[in-house]
Amino acid sequence: MGVQMSIKVREWLRRLGIETTHEERQDIDHEIEQRTGRYCDTGVELLSEAEFLAIVESVRRRRKRTVAEALIS
């Protein structure tokens, strides 16, 4: 993932009314790149809205689990 933040991914999030933290956006970008094998702004164009929403949800679940684990230990 490059230093440049994804523009199209942010547009998708805004259009769908999804607010994210900077860290969540970075993780979403990375997950899109992993799943599509392309830079996130190119890769997001290959995804359906349902696939995009699934990525956002998986990133959020992963982040919540990481925070909960940190609080427990």
**Percent of the chain beyond pLDDT 70?**
90
Element (H or E) spanning 31, and its range?
Answer: helix 22-36
Asked if residue 31 is part of any domain, the answer here is: yes
Domain of residue 64, residue span: 7-72
Element (H or E) spanning 47, and its range?
Answer: none
Instruction: Give the pLDDT band of residue 4 (cuts 50, 70, 90).
Output: low
Asked if residue 64 is part of any domain, the answer here is: yes
pLDDT digits (tens, 9 = 90+) for 56-67: 999 999 877 776
Could you identify the residue written with the tokens 């164009």?
45
Cut 0.75: pTM above it: yes
Mean pLDDT of 22-40: 95
Asked if residue 57 is part of any domain, the answer here is: yes
Asked if residue 39 is part of any domain, the answer here is: yes
Domain count, the chain: 1
**Average pLDDT of every residue of the chain:** 89
